[in-house]
Amino acid sequence: MAAEILRMTGISKSYPGVKALKDVSFSVQKGEIHVLVGENGAGKSTLMKILAGAQRADAGQIAIDGKAILHPTPEVMLRHGLAVIYQELMLAPHLSVAENIFLGRFPKYGPFIVDWSATQKEAGQLIERLDFQLDPKARLSSLTVAQRQLVEIAKALSLNAKLVVLDEPSAVLGEKEIENLFKVMKGLSQEGISFIYISHRLKEVFQIAHRITVLRDGAVVVSSQPVGEVNEEQLVRWMVGRDIAHYLPTRTRSASKVLLKVTGLQRKGVLHDISFEVREGEILGICGLAGSGRTEVLRAIIGADPVDGGLVEYCGQPVSIRSPRQALRLGIGLVPEDRKQQGLFLSQSVAFNVTISNIRNSLRGGFINQRKEKSSVQRLVKSLQIKTPTLQVRVSNLSGGNQQKCVLAKKLNANCRLLLVDEPTRGIDVGAKREIYQLFFDLLQREGMAMVIVSSELPEVLRCSDRILVMRQGRIAAEFDRKEASEEALMRFAT
């Protein structure tokens, strides 16, 4: 057996009214990729924050290379070779890729002068070693979310870490980027670097893990199980505490008249002659590698990005949409891929987030009619089964799945008939995914509704969509009916 690089013993952590972790023990061997799984709220992120020194445990011990860490802090853990990549990226958007990688550790000529040439050179060498397609001089704000994730990974590895924690790294990566990431991880693990990998994507668990540990309700359910001794059905049962033989719901698919028609949509260097239709009662799926133009299509439709040409028809009429607000008034709503940055006011309540999209509906005499607001929010919370103690709870305190439902509730409160949903289940566990899918299918029973879903998860696209568009380099490379599609066919056209 390989030597242990990490051992956490008897870790417990409580918050007011919540026992987040209960006597958790966890270990990682040198050169191992150890996957940590569990539903949202199982305690995974809390355990990793305690490991990183960002939070203090109420009880328990941490040892690295057999040496007890008495007072863990981020600085202390970094000195012991731990690098953590959180789900929420810790980067400076106004700086370049190279500057972000070496921020606080720039190569210097002397004690005060930064050697910018060496900074660029070393960043380029690291990026080349990792086989990431990034320009060291590019400003971070010009990159996609997926590319920013790669910068965070490069930054962690530039620290010469011997234990790297990756919290949902693939949530913003396409299939090709995930493949490259796994290739890098496997190569580094053979060099003796260890990884703790957190993911809700069950397919990834079996692709990358050496061993698996499962948390549920703050406690260890299964500890350090070799991946070869586990199947997907067992893993789901351990995570959710019950059998979910059919954890993806099904529906009767029926589509009628055209709700949205896009013809020849153009944006120089980004989109090229994009044409498709979406019918009432239908889910149109769009897939492709990161940078293929998937998200850009949705943003162009709602007027978030300018276009150079093309025609958009909605409800049989040509429309010229110049802004997301105008699109919302027409009944077209975008659920963005980054719900925390672009979809929600995290410091505000559930009620505020749901009503803000149609605040006029709750006004009386220039003031918010709280009774009317409460009634409309309660109706949507009940309809979408949003789990929240009260309507005044900060939305930041909800689980990822319930936050996603709040974004959907906001669009439905604005009376949207067409929902454009970018990465619908990013960072959401398997149980919550089923709820989101069932919610989509229930919404399509409403008269006149339709959806467009963009997803990096091919199984999700295949299971949810009636028709599927595959994008490559800003163009539609193929269109499939659901019955004709397969993961292999979608990837063939995407690449």
pLDDT tens profile 12-27: 998 776 788 999 999 9
Instruction: Verify that 236 and 275 share a domain, yes or no.
Output: no
Q: Does the residue 251 lie in any domain?
A: no
Q: Does the residue 286 lie in any domain?
A: yes
Instruction: Verify that 358 and 231 share a domain, yes or no.
Output: no
Distance CA 165, CA 147 (A): 18
pLDDT tens profile 295-331: 999 999 999 999 999 999 999 999 999 998 899 889 8
% residues pLDDT > 70 (the chain):
92
Mark which of 178, 210, 240 sits at the end of a domain: 240
Instruction: Verify that 330 and 357 share a domain, yes or no.
Output: yes
Q: Does the residue 247 lie in any domain?
A: no
Mark which of 184, 208, 240 sits at the end of a domain: 240
2: pLDDT strictly greater than 90: no
pLDDT at residue 442, rounded to an integer: 83
Instruction: Verify that 235 and 347 share a domain, yes or no.
Output: no
Instruction: Verify that 53 and 93 share a domain, yes or no.
Output: yes
Q: Does the residue 107 lie in any domain?
A: yes
Instruction: Verify that 193 and 270 share a domain, yes or no.
Output: no
CATH number at residue 312: 3.40.50.300
Average pLDDT over every residue of 205-229: 92
Cβ neighbors of 336 (< 8 A, separation 6 or more) are: 342, 343, 407, 422
365: pLDDT strictly greater than 70: no
Number of continuous H segments (helices) and E segments (strands) in the chain: 16, 22
Q: Does the residue 208 lie in any domain?
A: yes
**Total count of domains within the chain:** 2
- DSSP one-letter code for 114: B
Query: Which amino acid is residue 81, in one-letter code?
Result: G
| The two structure tokens encoding residue 110 | 């002397």
Instruction: Verify that 456 and 365 share a domain, yes or no.
Output: yes
| The two structure tokens encoding residue 382 | 């009940």
Q: How far is CA 50 from CA 57, 71, 100, 137, in A?
A: 6, 11, 25, 34
Instruction: Verify that 344 and 214 share a domain, yes or no.
Output: no
Q: Does the residue 248 lie in any domain?
A: no
Instruction: Verify that 406 and 489 share a domain, yes or no.
Output: yes
Which of 1-5, 192-196, 335-339, 489-493 has maximum average pLDDT? 192-196
Q: Does the residue 250 lie in any domain?
A: no
Q: Which domain holds residue 60?
A: 4-240
Is pLDDT larger for residue 424 or for residue 321?
321
pLDDT at residue 409, rounded to an integer: 82
- Helix crossing, 145-158 with 175-190: angle to 10°? 10
Instruction: Verify that 68 and 199 share a domain, yes or no.
Output: yes
Q: List, in sequence order, every beta strand (DSSP E) within 219-270.
A: 219-226, 258-267
229: pLDDT strictly greater than 80: yes
Mark which of 182, 207, 240 sits at the end of a domain: 240
289 pLDDT band (50/70/90 cuts)? confident
Instruction: Verify that 342 and 226 share a domain, yes or no.
Output: no
411: pLDDT strictly greater than 90: no
Distance CA 86, CA 83 (A): 10
pLDDT tens profile 92-126: 889 999 999 998 888 888 778 888 988 999 999 88
Instruction: Verify that 163 and 230 share a domain, yes or no.
Output: yes
39: pLDDT strictly greater than 80: no
pTM of the model: 0.64
pLDDT at residue 478, rounded to an integer: 92
Q: Does the residue 177 lie in any domain?
A: yes
185 pLDDT band (50/70/90 cuts)? confident
By C-alpha distance, which of 162, 164, 174, 88 is closest to 133? 174
Q: What is the mean pLDDT of the chain?
A: 85
